[in-house]
Amino acid sequence: MSWMVRALLVSALFVVGCKHAQAPVTPEPVAQACDAKQQEISKEADQRAAPWSIEQHLAKNFPDGSVSWLMKEGPYQTFVVQSGAKNFGRCDDNGCFLFAAPSAVIHEAVKKSMTGATHDPAVLGQALGLPAKNFEGPLRMMTLDLKASGSCARLPVDADPGVWKCQSEQDTDCFKFGGYTSGGVPEIMVINAPVAQATVAEIP
């Protein structure tokens, strides 16, 4: 997954009130934040994951709608700062794509990896189920409220940019469909996450 960790909207809230109370507003399904192409991909991914779906995945694993991901300092400076990027992720004609995990999971993993003034990449990699080399050196941790940002979110699929496909059954750090990293951390694909709306923290 190179420099991205492969990690949103809250679940529907059902309210029972008196007969004079206003009807509760059901949150807009996350797929509606996606364009037609991404909605179709999301629909196909849900069919493949059935009876699981992106809405169930978000309700269970991303209840506060907040997602986070990590980048090495070098790529962050090159692809975000110096390029003046508007969106995070690997970009093509269909948008900019990144893997994100629940913010609580990423923040806790970073906290536990700190040894004095710096983080331990081996500890961070083990916690997230990803190679330690992905986290060597200074990092940046991005946090984004998906609902507020209006970003598209769906289950990741094999054809997504940044996917490292398995070469054999023995491969453990490669992409496996289902919404979880090889280490069991919940993940989603976020499309067009705006740089201006993300909170960025330095991880020495």
Q: What is the pLDDT of residue 126?
A: 92
Exposure of 56 by Cβ count < 10 A (0-12 exposed, 13-18 middle, 19+ buried)?
Answer: middle
How far is it, in rounded angstroms, from Cα 132 to Cα 126? 7
- Looking at residue 195, the DSSP 8-state letter turns out to be G
pTM: predicted TM-score of the whole model, two decimal places: 0.82
Question: Is the dihedral angle over the CA atoms 160, 76, 7, 174 positive or is it negative?
Answer: positive
Q: What is the pLDDT of residue 191?
A: 98
Question: Is the dihedral angle over the CA atoms 141, 189, 83, 2 positive or is it negative?
Answer: positive
Residues of the chain with pLDDT under 70: 1-32, 170
* Residue at token pair 């995945």: 57
